Amino acid sequence: MSAAGALLRRVNRTVRPLGLEVRRVRRDLDSCLAGPRAVRAMLRDTAEVIGDFLARACLLPCSPPSDLEAALAAFYAAYQDSPVRAVTGGARLNKLLWLFALARGMAPEVVVESGTFRGTSAWAMAQGAPKAVIHTFDIEDAGIAARAPNVRYHRGDWAGAHLGPLQAERTLTFFDDHVDQARRVLEAQARGLRWLVFDDDLDVRAFPRHCADAGPLPKIAMVLDRTLGDGEALEWRFAGRPCRYVVDGAYHARARAAIAATQRLPDLSSVTGLEHEEPLTIVALRPLDEAMVSP
């Protein structure tokens, strides 16, 4: 056993009675199948999954580029050499491959992101859409690991920002900010936007392990879950602490009426061999004047 490993064991013997455990931190891709042949096979299979989805099923107005496998290979190489490779927190490769491919396939004029954190997802979308103007927002400055020339970094909440006129069909909006997703849907609809992508869209059974409080609720899946009754209390425990969220039926209905369709992106972990990440969800919005509150 290494000296570092022995030290880790001694530390954990001390802190485990307190309900704590110290673990090594590893960057994304530090543990994966290596070698040129394995990487080529992984990129080929990933391109097949993404390309088929973009060509046949994707809600977004996009199509797979003819050079998708080569584009993914270039992105993979750039990611390996980039400081955005996460140690803790932030998006990992499976999610970034999707964001890159969606941006490449849609070729938006503008990208709006809420939740910059270390700048990883903004960097990935900038690689996919180098001609787009990308606005990324965060209320905190957690230390941006890498900046892209076509990304404008803003401090504050996206809802109060002046972005000028946004063409709905040519704007892609990504929410990864751990904020009430119904609120984000209604804010985006009020700005005339149409195409949204959400991170951490978790259903009722899955959200408790991520939510220290009710702030990020409801999720998109919860808004669309008609079995949740008005006034129903959802109770869970996070790190042993009790938490509670009360369903506001009218609020859920307003957000549900704004949504024309949703779509979960396929999990890439089976083809990349990397750890499963929480799903990305595409949301297509109705224009504000067409939205009607459903009974």
Smallest CA-to-CA distance from 69 within 97, 30, 93 is with 97
- 265 and 174 belong to one structural domain: yes
**Partners of residue 245 on adjacent β-strands:** 234
The answer to whether residue 80 is domain-embedded is: yes
Q: Is the separation of the CB atoms in 208 and 237 below 8 Å? A: yes
Q: H/E element holding 171?
A: strand 171-175
Identify residue 69 by its one-letter amino acid code.
E
- 161 and 247 belong to one structural domain: yes
Q: Is the separation of the CB atoms in 208 and 155 below 8 Å? A: no
Q: What is the pLDDT of residue 208?
A: 93
Domain that holds residue 2: 1-28
Q: Is the separation of the CB atoms in 264 and 280 below 8 Å? A: yes
pLDDT (tens place) for every residue of the chain, 295 residues total: 577 667 767 766 776 776 667 766 667 777 888 889 999 999 999 999 999 999 998 999 998 988 999 999 999 999 998 888 876 666 789 999 999 999 999 999 999 999 999 999 999 999 999 999 999 999 987 688 888 999 999 999 999 898 988 999 999 999 999 999 999 999 999 999 999 999 999 999 999 988 999 999 999 999 999 999 999 999 999 988 999 999 999 999 999 999 999 999 999 999 998 887 788 999 999 998 876 544 4
- 8 and 54 belong to one structural domain: no
Provide CB contacts within 8 A for 21, sequence distance 6+.
12, 15
The answer to whether residue 94 is domain-embedded is: yes
- 50 and 182 belong to one structural domain: yes
- 135 and 245 belong to one structural domain: yes
The answer to whether residue 295 is domain-embedded is: no
Q: What is the pTM of this model?
A: 0.90
- 126 and 258 belong to one structural domain: yes
- 14 and 144 belong to one structural domain: no
Say how many domains are in the chain: 2
Please give the backbone phi and psi of residue 214, each rounded to the nearest 5 degrees, phi first. Answer: -90, 5
Q: What is the pLDDT of residue 13?
A: 77
Instruction: Count Cβ neighbours within 10 Å for each residue of 79-118 and write b for 16 or more, e otherwise.
Output: beeeebbbeeebbbbbbbbbbbbbbbbbbbebbbbbbbbb
- 19 and 136 belong to one structural domain: no
DSSP annotation string for 53-109: HHHHT-SSS----TTHHHHHHHHHHHHHTSTTS-SSSS--HHHHHHHHHHHHHH--S
CA angle 141, 198, 79 (to 5 degrees): 60
Q: Name residue, tokens 């103007």.
A: 133
> What are 39's two structure tokens?
């990487």
The answer to whether residue 130 is domain-embedded is: yes
Q: What is the pLDDT of residue 212?
A: 92
- 174 and 59 belong to one structural domain: yes
Q: What is the pLDDT of residue 197?
A: 98
The answer to whether residue 254 is domain-embedded is: yes
Please give the backbone phi and psi of residue 20, each rounded to the nearest 5 degrees, phi first. Answer: -120, 160
- 125 and 2 belong to one structural domain: no
The answer to whether residue 260 is domain-embedded is: yes
- 19 and 69 belong to one structural domain: no
The answer to whether residue 207 is domain-embedded is: yes
Q: What is the CATH number of the domain that holds 65?
A: 3.40.50.150
- 39 and 22 belong to one structural domain: no
Please give the backbone phi and psi of residue 91, each rounded to the nearest 5 degrees, phi first. Answer: -75, 150
Q: What is the pLDDT of residue 4?
A: 67
